[in-house]
Amino acid sequence: MPKNCIGGAPLFDWAQFLPGVAAGDHTALAGLYDAACSVVFGLALRILGDRELAEDVVAEVFAQVWKDAKTYDPARGSAASWIISCTRSRAIDVLRSRKHERVTQPIESAADAPSTLPGPEDVSALGERRQFVRRAVDSLAVEQREVIELAYFSGLSHTEIAVRLGEPLGTIKTRIRAAMMHLRDMLGHLAPPIMADLKEGTG
């Protein structure tokens, strides 16, 4: 289970968080995450059979919920049904993608493989991505930016951050969750995923 998953509330409680999430309330998102993540992770793990991939799906699902909460219609189904359906779809997409990646090509095709060295356009695009990341990190609340920098740029664990800042561990985890959801929302248009850029884009 992802390190930040704690407990899990009854399914019927999930809907109470969605109005706040739709309004852009990071506290509501953190509450929904704590309530639902164990179920989301469990379903993704059953489908994928890989903990790391399941954790990626959890992050993607809650990023989607954060983005699409305004469009959620209770008349079409419960909040639990919506989130579980998102989880199943994401996990199946990942599973299909993994199967596709396992298809190998004849060794002769390697001669025609393009160079992996970045060209001028790639270098320019990478610089733009890093600027996006820097601006996104700068847009975080001060306490959120502080824990993100300690976690991802200084390599500290959640416990080490809590000790350094003199804050409860649960508070640190909530700040990191809220910050990551904010970054994923701002940087979701970038591909490949942003995490590789975070360390480089803030130097």
Common-topology check for domains 11-100 and 129-201: no
- The answer on pLDDT for 166 being more than 70 is yes
Neighbours of 127 (CB within 10 A): 11
The hierarchical CATH code for the domain 11-100 is 1.10.1740.10
Question: How would residue 197 be classed by pLDDT, with cut points 50, 70 and 90?
Answer: very low
Which burial class, exposed, middle or buried, applies to 145 when counting CB atoms under 10 A from its CB (0-12, 13-18, 19+)? middle
- The answer on pLDDT for 113 being more than 80 is no
- The answer on pLDDT for 180 being more than 60 is yes
d(CA 169, CA 159): 6
Higher pLDDT, 120 or 74: 74
Enter the tokens of residue 131. Answer: 């600027």
Enter the tokens of residue 63. Answer: 């990023």
Domain range summary for the chain, segments of one domain joined by +: 11-100, 129-201
For 129-201, the fitting CATH number among 1.10.10.10, 3.40.50.10490, 3.40.50.300, 2.60.40.10 is 1.10.10.10
Q: Among residues 69, 64, 73, which one has the least CA distance to residue 24?
A: 69
CA distances from 103 to 3, 97, 99, 178 (A): 33, 10, 7, 38
Termini Cα distance of the chain: 32
- The secondary structure of residue 198, as a DSSP letter, is H
Q: Give percent of the chain above pLDDT 90.
A: 11
- The answer on pLDDT for 145 being more than 60 is yes
Residue with tokens 């994923």: 184
Amino acid at 114: P
Mean pLDDT computed over 25-30: 87
**Which range among 29-38, 123-132, 177-186 shows the weakest confidence by mean pLDDT?**
123-132
